Chain A
Amino acid sequence: MSEVIPKLFRINTGSCNGCDVEFVATAFVDKFQLETLGVELVNDVKDANLLVITGPLTARSESFLKNTLTKLKKPFVVVGIGTCSVSCGIFRDSYAINGPIDKFVEVDVNVAGCPPRPQSIAEGIAKGIKVLEQKMNGEATPKAIDTIFKDFSAPDSFRGRMSLNEENCTACRTCEIVCPSNAIEISSTGDGWFVHKIWHNSCCFCGNCAYFCPTGAIFSTNSFDTAKLQSEKFSDVNVGYIDYKKCSSCGDRYMPPSKGLLSKAYTHDDVTKLNEKICPKCRKEANFKRMYA
């Protein structure tokens, strides 16, 4: 196995600069350990074998990226930093956006985050170097690489990858509508389930969904493990299943009130039980009969 010296060149394709600032922090602050990877920053793309790209690829920057790519010598790896580079994030569908970058270049590693934490950036570069070693030795890119730096937990107040507590979710779709980066999709299976998907590579970690969720079902974790291989780009999704219950009396489907809401309204568990098996219509009828029949 030959020794690989990663030579890093960075190109900004219309990033807001947030990612670039985090990248600079990653590169120059010792604790993020970029140095331990033996990375050399080069200022001519001709010398590079590790291309780092930030930004959603604006129309203006397309020619710059294309021009840069013609000068790169194989083998090289491409690491996209920031949700913008992976899926255009909050800028997706804008008239001036031609990205994401993988339309124009074969990307190897994606680091989601808006911007990502330096730990994730370092992890993404470390994974990129692994892929580079393999390319240089003529091996195929693996389907997954173990995490290299391990610790991705952010401070408690930090918004990391979003997660869902299915028990509390009523598939009301509020989160889907308030999400500025179109990272949430709620669909129905047609046979009694709603599927709630959070696509981490599109999320900008704004916390809007958690703020507006009426039941507190969606929440941010403090994990920032977002450096993933390109093969995981579309599968890094948090999937939740929400039971669209069948009424034991009339057989119609109904959405039971969420445990989260009930626990806010009632202090006793037995109220929750009343709602367990029948739809609101049948419950009203049953109550009416019980009182007046």
Chain B
Amino acid sequence: MKIEEFNNAIKSKISSGYELKEDKDSYGNASAWIILSNKRDSESVAKAVKAYKGRCIVATAYKNIDGTHTVIYHFDIEGLIINLQLETEDQSIFSITPILPSANWAEREIREMYGVEPIGHPDKDRLFLDYSLAKGVLNEYISLSKMQLGVSETDVLWENVNKEVKQ
């Protein structure tokens, strides 16, 4: 599979424009980045991946400083990695699971970890996260230094240790 061929397949299908970047890893394996202007176009790309019998390997998400979210789907077509990047301001994306079932768990994971709703996803259930926890747990920012010294403001266990250990 060549990047050019895939690009030709999606060119006319994407309505709002996109940026294409080519990349290579240290082993010389090619990968493509497709950065969408409009998240809606993810469905067109997913359809093209499906037509080439590709699959969604996994998806990545993160919360930006301004509160918006970036979501990246990672597709594989015969060894070519295609990264589809999109932005969302309202914590929602259009689910591609109805087109590519392999995106099922990845989208559910993004829903519970970042609170980004994949609209039209067939499965409403949680994947890993317990119902006692609010979704979007990874949206919280915890600095590395805070994490290294323990995030709890009052460390109850250490208070107990210090009661037992005389100084």
* Contacts from A to B (Cβ < 8 Å): 58-60, 62, 87, 92-93, 95-96, 100, 176-178, 182, 185, 187, 189, 193, 195, 197, 199, 202, 233-235, 237, 239
Q: B167 near A189 (CB under 8 angstroms)?
A: yes
Q: What does the 1/0 interface line of B128-160 toward A look like (CB < 8 Å)?
A: 011011000100100000001111100101101
Q: How far is the CA of A177 from the CA of B147 in the complex (A)?
A: 10
Residues of chain A within 8 A of B164, CB atoms compared: 234-235, 237
Assuming the A-B contacts A93-B150, A182-B149, A182-B150, are A237 and B157 also in contact, with contact meaning beta carbons closer than 8 angstroms in the complex? no
Residues of chain B within 8 A of A59, CB atoms compared: 130, 132-133
Q: How far is the CA of A93 from the CA of B149 in the complex (A)?
A: 11
Q: How far is the CA of A199 from the CA of B165 in the complex (A)?
A: 10
Q: What does the 1/0 interface line of B74-114 toward A look like (CB < 8 Å)?
A: 00000000000000000000000000000000000000000
Residues of chain A within 8 A of B150, CB atoms compared: 92-93, 182
Shortest 4 CB-CB contacts between residues of A and residues of B? A59-B130, A235-B164, A234-B160, A234-B164
Q: How far is the CA of A235 from the CA of B163 in the complex (A)?
A: 9
Q: B161 near A234 (CB under 8 angstroms)?
A: yes
Give the distance to chain B from A176, nearest Cβ to Cβ, in Å. Answer: 8
Residues of chain A within 8 A of B157, CB atoms compared: 87, 92, 100, 202, 234
* Contacts from B to A (Cβ < 8 Å): 129-130, 132-133, 137, 140, 148-152, 155, 157-158, 160-165, 167
Give the distance to chain B from A29, nearest Cβ to Cβ, in Å. Answer: 33
Q: How far is the CA of A234 from the CA of B152 in the complex (A)?
A: 18
Give the distance to chain B from A36, nearest Cβ to Cβ, in Å. Answer: 33
Q: A185 near B152 (CB under 8 angstroms)?
A: no
Q: B130 near A187 (CB under 8 angstroms)?
A: no
Q: A237 near B149 (CB under 8 angstroms)?
A: no
Q: Which of chain B's residues has its CB closest to A185's CB? A: B158
Q: How far is the CA of A202 from the CA of B150 in the complex (A)?
A: 12
Q: B167 near A235 (CB under 8 angstroms)?
A: no
Residues of chain B within 8 A of A199, CB atoms compared: 158, 161
The listed residue (B133, B149, B152, B163) touching A177 by CB distance below 8 A is: B149
Q: How far is the CA of A60 from the CA of B126 in the complex (A)?
A: 12
Q: How far is the CA of A177 from the CA of B150 in the complex (A)?
A: 10
The listed residue (B137, B149, B151, B167) touching A195 by CB distance below 8 A is: B167
Assuming the A-B contacts A59-B130, A182-B150, A189-B167, are A95 and B137 also in contact, with contact meaning beta carbons closer than 8 angstroms in the complex? yes
Q: How far is the CA of A237 from the CA of B160 in the complex (A)?
A: 12
Q: How far is the CA of A185 from the CA of B149 in the complex (A)?
A: 10
Q: How far is the CA of A165 from the CA of B98 in the complex (A)?
A: 62
Q: How far is the CA of A217 from the CA of B71 in the complex (A)?
A: 46
Q: A177 near B148 (CB under 8 angstroms)?
A: yes
Give the distance to chain A from B120, nearest Cβ to Cβ, in Å. Answer: 27
Assuming the A-B contacts A93-B151, A182-B149, are A197 and B165 also in contact, with contact meaning beta carbons closer than 8 angstroms in the complex? yes
Give the distance to chain B from A5, nearest Cβ to Cβ, in Å. Answer: 35
Assuming the A-B contacts A177-B148, A182-B149, A195-B167, are A95 and B133 also in contact, with contact meaning beta carbons closer than 8 angstroms in the complex? yes
Q: A237 near B161 (CB under 8 angstroms)?
A: yes
Between A and B, 19 residue pairs with Cβ closer than 8 Å are: A58-B130, A59-B130, A59-B132, A87-B157, A92-B157, A93-B151, A93-B152, A95-B140, A96-B130, A100-B157, A177-B148, A177-B149, A185-B158, A199-B161, A234-B157, A234-B163, A237-B161, A237-B164, A237-B165
Q: A187 near B161 (CB under 8 angstroms)?
A: no
Q: Which of chain A's residues has its CB closest to B137's CB? A: A95
Give the distance to chain A from B147, nearest Cβ to Cβ, in Å. Answer: 8
Residues of chain B within 8 A of A92, CB atoms compared: 150, 152, 157
Q: Which of chain A's residues has its CB closest to B131's CB? A: A59
Known: A182-B149, A185-B158. 11 other contacts (CB 8 A): A93-B152, A95-B133, A177-B148, A185-B161, A185-B162, A187-B162, A187-B167, A189-B167, A202-B157, A234-B164, A235-B164
Give the distance to chain A from B86, nearest Cβ to Cβ, in Å. Answer: 26
Give the distance to chain A from B133, nearest Cβ to Cβ, in Å. Answer: 6
Q: Which of chain B's residues has its CB closest to A199's CB? A: B161
Q: Which of chain B's residues has its CB closest to A178's CB? A: B148
Q: Which of chain B's residues has its CB closest to A231's CB? A: B164
Q: B155 near A182 (CB under 8 angstroms)?
A: yes
